[in-house]
């Protein structure tokens, strides 16, 4: 079996086991530009692998992703008898440290959600109106949704009788029910009946948050709107420019603020972490760890919890 055939077989195998594997498939197919796809897997050399891993830019975490995908492929190829060895190098340079997420303060969130600021940012906008934009932001922070999850929601996915959202076929091909709080439920109840799409007919398959013509929101459109809003709200990040607040950081902030609130309430945080992981749509706790940045407020609450435990309070 050729390298190209084995790669395509591996992609089908990964997807049959529940992985979307879109990025991995693209990387493996891109690797064929560095190796002969019509040759066998054992014909691939370490030199070819290193050329693929190096790419044309500076060292970045993308190299680690490429190495991880190739390692998975060669484990599969060897286990199936399509290869007898792995051409991957025995050692790899350490990836640059991951830039920590920006955790918005409560005051910054109030400025981001302030309707007057949102309206100013959308003045003259052709497609994305202010009310829709603000509703999207509240969804991203209020329930910690991924951008793709929020923009894929349809009217049928919103159950205001039970205050539950249905998130369908997400990152790991899994669907989940996400409870929403009364404040967000009220926002959605006021938003859904609005004739915001130029009089277009709506049914249960219509997107919950959409452009004025009813089409799905594009990430480029929303990102540009968010950058404008962030400047108007006076949120600029760190002075050195290394930590620019992102739209996705609303999801990080939801996770950190949830954890901080549990510490304050004296809740069993270790028991609740799997609940948070499920709520965010992660397959395991490893995925949730990325979101739990140690902010000064979170550190203070953790220290207070430890101090009470060290003082003999066994209920913490």
Task: Report the distance separating Cα 20 and Cα 12, nearest Å.
Answer: 10
pLDDT digits (tens, 9 = 90+) for 97-133: 667 788 899 999 999 999 999 999 999 888 899 999 9
Q: Residue 85 falls within a domain, yes or no?
A: no
Q: Residue 267 falls within a domain, yes or no?
A: yes
Instruction: Measure CA 89 to chain center.
Output: 30
3-state secondary structure of 246: coil
Q: Residue 98 falls within a domain, yes or no?
A: no
Q: What is the DSSP string of 127-163?
A: SS-HHHHHHHHHHHHHS---HHHHHH-BGGGEETTTT
CATH number of the domain to which 150 belongs: 1.10.443.10
* Cα 246–Cα 287–Cα 78 angle in degrees, nearest 5: 120
pLDDT of 280 > 90? The answer is no
Q: Residue 91 falls within a domain, yes or no?
A: no
User: Which residue from 6, 61, 60 is spatially nearest to 31, judged by alpha carbons?
Assistant: 6
Tokens of 236: 């600029």
pLDDT digits (tens, 9 = 90+) for 161-187: 999 999 986 655 577 889 999 999 999
Please report which confidence band the pLDDT of residue 193 belongs to, taking 50, 70 and 90 as the band edges.
confident
Mean model confidence pLDDT for the chain: 84
Worst-scoring range by mean pLDDT, 9-13, 16-20, 163-167, 173-177? 173-177
Task: Report the distance separating Cα 283 and Cα 174, nearest Å.
Answer: 9
Task: Report the distance separating Cα 70 and Cα 88, nearest Å.
Answer: 8
So which residues are the catalytic ones?
146, 171, 248, 251, 282, 291
Q: Hey, which residues does 159 pair with through a beta bridge?
A: 164
Of the candidates 62, 79, 96, which is a domain's last residue? 79
Please report which confidence band the pLDDT of residue 71 belongs to, taking 50, 70 and 90 as the band edges.
very high
Q: Residue 97 falls within a domain, yes or no?
A: no
For residue 282, what is the enclosing H or E element?
none
274 plus 224 within the same structural domain: no
Domain containing 51 equals 3-79
Task: Report the distance separating Cα 154 and Cα 207, nearest Å.
Answer: 4
Q: Residue 159 falls within a domain, yes or no?
A: yes
Tokens of 2: 């050729």
| pLDDT in the model for residue 288 | 65
Give all strands (DSSP E) within the chain, no chain letters.
Answer: 158-159, 164-167, 176-179
| pLDDT in the model for residue 310 | 41
| pLDDT in the model for residue 316 | 44
Tokens of 220: 């480029």
Q: What is the tally of structural domains in the chain?
A: 3
Residues 177, 165: contact at Cβ < 8 Å? yes
Please report which confidence band the pLDDT of residue 191 belongs to, taking 50, 70 and 90 as the band edges.
very high
pTM of the model: 0.69
Q: What is the mean pLDDT of residues 262-285?
A: 74
224 plus 152 within the same structural domain: yes
């Amino acid at each position: 079996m050729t390298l190209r055939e084995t790669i395509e077989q591996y992609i089908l195998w990964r997807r049959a086991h529940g992985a979307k594997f879109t990025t991995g498939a693209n990387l493996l197919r891109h690797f064929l530009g560095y190796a002969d796809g019509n040759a066998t897997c054992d014909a691939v050399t370490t030199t070819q692998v290193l050329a693929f891993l190096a790419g044309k830019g500076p060292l970045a975490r993308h190299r680690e992703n490429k190495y991880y995908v190739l390692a998975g492929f060669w484990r599969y190829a060897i286990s199936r008898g399509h290869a007898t060895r792995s051409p991957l190098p025995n050692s790899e340079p350490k990836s640059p440290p991951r830039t920590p997420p920006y955790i918005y303060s409560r005051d910054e969130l109030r400025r981001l959600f302030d309707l007057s600021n949102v309206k100013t940012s959308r003045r003259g906008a052709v497609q994305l109106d202010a009310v829709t934009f603000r509703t999207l932001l509240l969804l991203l922070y209020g329930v910690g949704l991924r951008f793709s999850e929020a923009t894929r929601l349809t009217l049928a996915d919103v159950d205001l009788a039970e205050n539950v959202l249905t998130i369908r076929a997400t990152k790991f091909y899994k669907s989940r029910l996400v409870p929403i709080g009364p404040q967000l439920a009220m926002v959605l109840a006021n938003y859904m009946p609005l004739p915001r799409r130029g009089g277009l007919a709506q049914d249960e398959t219509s997107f919950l948050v959409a452009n004025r013509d009813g089409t799905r929101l594009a990430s480029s459109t929303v990102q540009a709107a968010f950058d404008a809003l962030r400047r108007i709200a006076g949120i600029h990040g760190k002075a050195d420019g290394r930590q620019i607040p992102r739209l996705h950081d609303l999801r990080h902030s939801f996770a950190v603020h949830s954890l901080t609130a549990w510490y304050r309430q004296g809740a069993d945080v270790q028991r609740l972490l799997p609940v948070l992981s499920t709520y965010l749509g992660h397959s395991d706790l490893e995925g949730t760890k990325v979101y739990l940045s140690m902010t000064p407020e979170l550190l203070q609450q953790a220290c207070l919890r430890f101090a009470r435990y060290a003082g003999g309070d066994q209920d913490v």
